[in-house]
């Protein structure tokens, strides 16, 4: 694994490459990979590097140790009770919102491999990824209400769309842990897998996605996002315009040729 440098102590992010994919590991296991500024900076750098590297056609985001991420590092939030408190708008503007926007604009599919507890922003960063695999022992906790906050990192947008408003409200209000199997049953995540199989399942999925027409997979994400606010009429136009663009891609030509020649396609991810 290679390291993304951090000014303090152990590298907060590790990366590792496989065939066509890159794994990015949140690496503050003693703090359940909770986010501080150093982790945010290292993750930003790692995502930018993956986005810029054309050999990377799928990304796996996971955590070191027994957790995925416990959200904001609350030891950075010790403040004078008589003072105005921390400026949470600034931290969202500086760190969490760019992170979620970066994930949603990655030029390749992103898999969250949730290896353990995902709480607060940690849960919503995972849910912002394209495909979420979770270890059966993992749980998702919208921990925000326990400290007087509301879900951030896109949670108020993502949760009701994934699980419906009734479940979104109750699970965020009560901050109860949602086990991975329940998350799968509710449609919050793609699949819960045995703990010991998580890394291999994520790698196999990443390799599979990396061999697919990357442009179509990214356009698919954009189309699902677009549909959240579009009428059917507008969405039909969106499909026409984007299908037209994909129809001019090398991968489309290869897909059709491979079908007609009765062979496996060799997609290059080029548009
Ligand atoms: O502030 C802003 O920038 C605004 C944005 C906010 C985004 C947010 O994410 S707000 C929500 C913040 N997160 C939480 O409130 C979750 C806090 N953590 C927990 O509730 C629990 O730790 C978990 C349910 C996640 C896991 O419980 P458990 O029993 O498996 O582990 P633990 O023993 O509580 O934690 C292990 C260690 O990690 C422990 O340290 P210790 O005692 O061994 O030295 C614990 O203090 C530390 N840890 C866990 N979560 C955090 C943390 N340290 C700092 N910040 C954390 N969020």
Q: Which two tokens stand for residue 256?
A: 């059709």
Are 175 and 144 in contact, with CB atoms under 8 Å apart?
yes
Does any ligand 1 atom lie closer than 6 A to the CB of residue 130? no
Q: Rounded to two decimals, what is the model's pTM?
A: 0.96
Does any ligand 1 atom lie closer than 6 A to the CB of residue 131? no
Please name the residues in contact with 204: beta carbons below 8 A apart, sequence gap of 6 or more: none
83 or 116, which is more confident: 116
User: Tens digit of pLDDT for each residue in 114-150?
Assistant: 999 999 999 999 999 999 999 999 999 999 999 999 9
Strand order in the sheet with 178-179: 67-69, 117-119, 139-141, 178-179
pLDDT of residue 2: 53
Q: Which two tokens stand for residue 43?
A: 């993750």
User: What is the C-alpha end-to-end distance of the chain, expressed in Å?
Assistant: 30
Q: How many angstroms is it from 142 CA to the middle of ligand 1? A: 12
pLDDT of residue 17: 98
User: What is the spatial distance between Cα 19 and Cα 215, in angstroms, rounded to a whole number?
Assistant: 18
Average pLDDT over residues 239-264: 98
Buried-state track 158-188, b at ≥16 Cβ within 10 A, e below 16: bbeebbeeebbeebbeebebbebbbbbeeeb
Average pLDDT, the chain: 96
User: Tens digit of pLDDT for each residue in 146-201?
Assistant: 999 999 999 999 999 999 999 999 999 999 999 999 999 999 999 999 999 999 99
Are 251 and 258 in contact, with CB atoms under 8 Å apart?
no
Q: Which two tokens stand for residue 213?
A: 């027409």
Q: How many residues does the chain have?
A: 271
* Mutation to probe ligand 1, out of 40, 119, 144, 177 (largest number of atoms < 8 A from CB): 119
């Amino acid at each position: 694994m290679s390291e993304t440098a951090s000014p303090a102590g152990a590298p907060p992010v590790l990366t590792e490459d496989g065939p066509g994919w890159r794994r990015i590991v949140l690496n503050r296991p003693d703090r359940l990979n909770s986010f501080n500024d150093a982790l945010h900076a290292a993750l930003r750098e790692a995502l930018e590097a993956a986005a810029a590297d054309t050999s990377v056609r799928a990304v796996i985001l996971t955590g070191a140790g027994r957790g995925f991420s416990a959200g904001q590092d609350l030891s950075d939030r010790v403040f004078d009770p008589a003072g105005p408190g921390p400026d949470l708008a600034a931290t969202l503007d500086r760190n969490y919102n760019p992170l979620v926007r970066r994930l949603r604009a990655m030029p390749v599919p992103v898999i969250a491999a949730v290896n353990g507890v995902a709480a607060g922003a940690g849960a919503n960063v995972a849910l912002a990824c394209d495909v979420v695999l979770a270890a059966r022992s993992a749980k998702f906790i919208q921990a925000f209400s326990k400290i007087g906050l509301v879900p951030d990192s896109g949670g108020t947008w993502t949760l009701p769309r994934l699980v419906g408003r009734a479940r979104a409200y109750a699970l965020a209000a009560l901050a109860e842990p949602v086990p991975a199997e329940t998350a799968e049953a509710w449609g919050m995540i793609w699949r819960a897998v045995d703990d010991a199989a998580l890394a291999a399942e994520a790698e196999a999925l990443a390799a599979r996605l990396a061999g697919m027409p990357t442009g179509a997979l990214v356009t698919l994400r954009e189309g699902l996002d677009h549909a959240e606010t579009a009428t059917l009429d507008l969405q039909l136009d969106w499909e026409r315009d984007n299908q037209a663009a994909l129809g001019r891609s090398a991968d489309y030509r290869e897909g059709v040729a491979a079908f007609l020649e009765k062979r496996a396609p060799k997609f290059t991810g080029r548009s």
